[in-house]
């Protein structure tokens, strides 16, 4: 089992992604609202970093927030989900799209398999 984490900056693509996931039999995701570090620092009036505004504009021009998606998957579904994400988003290698990673799950309780 793997914990797959996606931080999606293009939040308008979340529903199309979930629809594509359901078509492939992938469900059970949890979604949290999230904000990147540069956005937090640029919004903090107590932080005086002259270049911060420029960096924020370059790395996240208009994004106010992102969505962080967590899902526990069987190992064989990690590649399937990664390919779906690339299809829906145009690829996470595109600027201001998002990031994804997976980590092994060493303990899991409360996930009921459908019969």
Residue 61's φ and ψ, nearest 5 degrees, are -55, -45
DSSP letter at 64 equals -
Q: What is the percent of the chain where pLDDT is above 70?
A: 74
Angle at 97 between CA 61 and CA 15, to 5 degrees: 115
Structure tokens at 65: 């927030």
Coil vs helix vs strand at 43: helix
How confident is the prediction for the chain on average, in pLDDT?
A: 84
Q: Which residues pair with 102 in a beta bridge?
A: 4
CATH numbers and ranges of domains, the chain: 2-35+64-104 (3.30.70.120)
| More reliable by pLDDT, 88 or 45 | 88
Which residue, among 74, 39, 73, 70, has the nearest Cα to 53 in the 3D structure? 39
Q: Is the pLDDT of residue 28 over 60?
A: yes
Instruction: Give the side-chain half-sphere CA count within 13 A for 45.
Output: 0
Q: What is the pTM of this model?
A: 0.79
Structure tokens at 63: 């994004």
CA distances from 69 to 43, 44, 45, 66, 100 (A): 24, 26, 30, 10, 9
Coil vs helix vs strand at 86: helix
């Amino acid at each position: 089992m793997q914990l797959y984490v996606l931080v999606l900056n293009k939040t308008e693509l979340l529903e199309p992604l979930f629809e594509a996931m359901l078509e492939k039999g992938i469900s059970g995701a949890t979604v949290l609202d999230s904000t990147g570090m540069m956005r937090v620092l640029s919004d903090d009036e107590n932080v005086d970093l002259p270049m911060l505004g420029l960096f924020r504009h370059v790395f996240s021009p208009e994004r106010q927030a992102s969505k962080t998606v967590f899902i526990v998957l069987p190992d064989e579904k990690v590649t399937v989900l990664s390919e779906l994400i690339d299809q829906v988003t145009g690829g996470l290698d595109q600027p201001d799209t998002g990031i994804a990673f997976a980590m092994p799950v060493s303990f899991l309780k409360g996930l009921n398999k459908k019969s």
